[in-house]
Amino acid sequence: MIDPMIFRQANLPDLGQISSCISISTLECGKSGNISISGTLTNLNAEEALINQNKIDEWIREVEERPGSAALIIQYIANRLSELASREEELAAQNIDLLNGRKVEEYESRIANLEYQLELLKRQLGGEVNLPTEMPAIKPPIETINLLVYNPLGLVMRGEMNQVEIASGQTIGRISDWESLGDMRPNVLITTSQEELLLLFDSGRTVTLPVSQLPLLSVESLDWQQASVHEPTVKEELAAIHPIAKMSLYETCIQVSRRGFVKKFKTSFLATHITEKYIGTGVKLPADKTCGLTFANKNDLFVMVSQEGYIFSMQADRLPVAIEEVIHLGITDHIVSAFITGNKPSLLLITQNGKAVHREVSWLEPASSFKTKGQALLSKERREAGTRLIGAAAVDEADWGVILHSDGTLTTYNLRELLAAGSVPAGNQNASILCFSGFHMPEIKG
């Protein structure tokens, strides 16, 4: 029988606050059934005690009336003490961090991140942000649509497009000196002049810069010789360029590799990585390379499209945190596009021979597991005939696109027309399509 008087030995303080004022020295349960709880009380304000003598007396009365309750009471108190002991451990560890300055470093790092985000916002607004006082009416700088063409050698060209003059099917420019770079396949990105860019190298290194810092060239004749050079280090290639000014609006950043490996991490971590100029290679296989980033919120549908027409989709929340192969690609295949559908209703997938395949987002069958083969877009016959996807995007009918042909010409298209026609109108019959970038036309201000 457990003696109810054992409770009188322990004048327990508020268990909710015990960790800061009591060190539990022993909790023994002998073979005889005698239990003793002893503690060292320090600095305890009796008024603060949630467990006071009255309560202990009440527990004793319960035990006197129903002796069967004693074992339960002891069990509950023991569980609580054990829980508080582990919390004590956590608090002690935090205290050590505080004392040796590690916490300070952590907060300094966070402050640096926040300052970086603030810097981005300032650039977006085109001036100083005066917080917390009332914001003066800053005249926003004129935002223009910018065309970026870049290649794995780190050459980046920027041209400005006149929003008013953009027309569907119009050749807006040509890249001269096209042949000199051999098979260094270029890429196209449409963005705005107020954006912040993240240059991602396949070594995991990153460089950030505002769009406006890139030298402005004439779109009509872009020349690699005049390109801004962000020279890769040895054995390194520029994998992708991403606009990041709006990254703080998203919870997650997803890094994608050419062989269908994916990892996700919090956008706040990306800010840390950016300050360290390194986000990791994002690959597991030696022959693999990172090919891009995308931002998502947890309920967004993430989509990856491979060159041979296999599509993987999954809710961003379910993607792996560690690098994992989420789509199992054939040996000759690789990822060409990764994006989220957002609130766009349609998918536009462009083939190298000018086919514009339109699918509703609802057509996608989100994968329930990793390493799946993916949803096939192209028939076996068309794949064997050499049809390959060169790009894809989630779009709506108000969106526009730019296509880079293999002869170096750049053409703009209204996607409404492209979706309706089902193919890219043939200009030069001999030129195949190299890459495609969709964009939303900003509203003309002023």
Select from 257, 254, 364 the least CA-distant residue to 311. 364
Task: Please state, in angstroms and rounded to a whole number, the distance separating the CA atoms of residues 426 and 421.
Answer: 12
Task: Please state, in angstroms and rounded to a whole number, the distance separating the CA atoms of residues 417 and 167.
Answer: 11
> For residues 82 and 379, which CB has a smaller minimum distance to other proteins in the complex?
82
The Cα diameter of the chain in Å comes to 98
Nearest-approach distance from CB 76 to other proteins, in angstroms: 5
User: Under the criterion CB under 8 A, does residue 285 sit at the interface with other proteins?
Assistant: no
Report 56-95 residues binding other proteins (CB under 8 A). 58-59, 61-62, 65-66, 68-69, 72-73, 76-77, 80
- For residues 327 and 256, the answer to whether their CB atoms sit within 8 Å is no
Nearest-approach distance from CB 14 to other proteins, in angstroms: 9
- For residues 282 and 256, the answer to whether their CB atoms sit within 8 Å is yes
Nearest-approach distance from CB 16 to other proteins, in angstroms: 6
Tokens read off for 179? 């042949």
User: Under the criterion CB under 8 A, does residue 17 sit at the interface with other proteins?
Assistant: yes
Nearest-approach distance from CB 53 to other proteins, in angstroms: 14
Task: Count the helix, strand and coil residues of the chain and give each as a percent rounded to the nearest 5.
Answer: 30, 35, 40
Report 20-59 residues binding other proteins (CB under 8 A). 47-48, 50, 55, 58-59
What is residue 413's three-state secondary structure? strand
Task: Please state, in angstroms and rounded to a whole number, the distance separating the CA atoms of residues 251 and 272.
Answer: 14
Please tell me the count of residues contacting other proteins according to CB under 8 A. 20
Nearest-approach distance from CB 298 to other proteins, in angstroms: 14
User: Under the criterion CB under 8 A, does residue 117 sit at the interface with other proteins?
Assistant: no
> For residues 15 and 301, which CB has a smaller minimum distance to other proteins in the complex?
15
> For residues 64 and 220, which CB has a smaller minimum distance to other proteins in the complex?
64
Nearest-approach distance from CB 418 to other proteins, in angstroms: 37
**2, 6, 10, 15: which one binds other proteins (CB under 8 A):** 15
AA letter at 290: T
> For residues 68 and 446, which CB has a smaller minimum distance to other proteins in the complex?
68
Half-sphere exposure of residue 280: CA atoms within 13 angstroms, side-chain side: 19
> For residues 65 and 115, which CB has a smaller minimum distance to other proteins in the complex?
65
Nearest-approach distance from CB 72 to other proteins, in angstroms: 5
Task: Please state, in angstroms and rounded to a whole number, the distance separating the CA atoms of residues 2 and 362.
Answer: 66
Estimate to the nearest angstrom the gap between the alpha carbon of 88 and the chain centroid. Answer: 35
Nearest-approach distance from CB 73 to other proteins, in angstroms: 5
> For residues 51 and 291, which CB has a smaller minimum distance to other proteins in the complex?
51
Query: What's the chain's length in residues?
Result: 446
User: Under the criterion CB under 8 A, does residue 16 sit at the interface with other proteins?
Assistant: yes
- For residues 381 and 373, the answer to whether their CB atoms sit within 8 Å is no
- The single residue listed with the structure tokens 């920027």 is 158
User: Under the criterion CB under 8 A, does residue 3 sit at the interface with other proteins?
Assistant: no
Half-sphere exposure of residue 74: CA atoms within 13 angstroms, side-chain side: 21
Kindly list the residues in this chain that would bind other proteins in the complex (CB under 8 A). 15-17, 47-48, 50, 55, 58-59, 61-62, 65-66, 68-69, 72-73, 76-77, 80
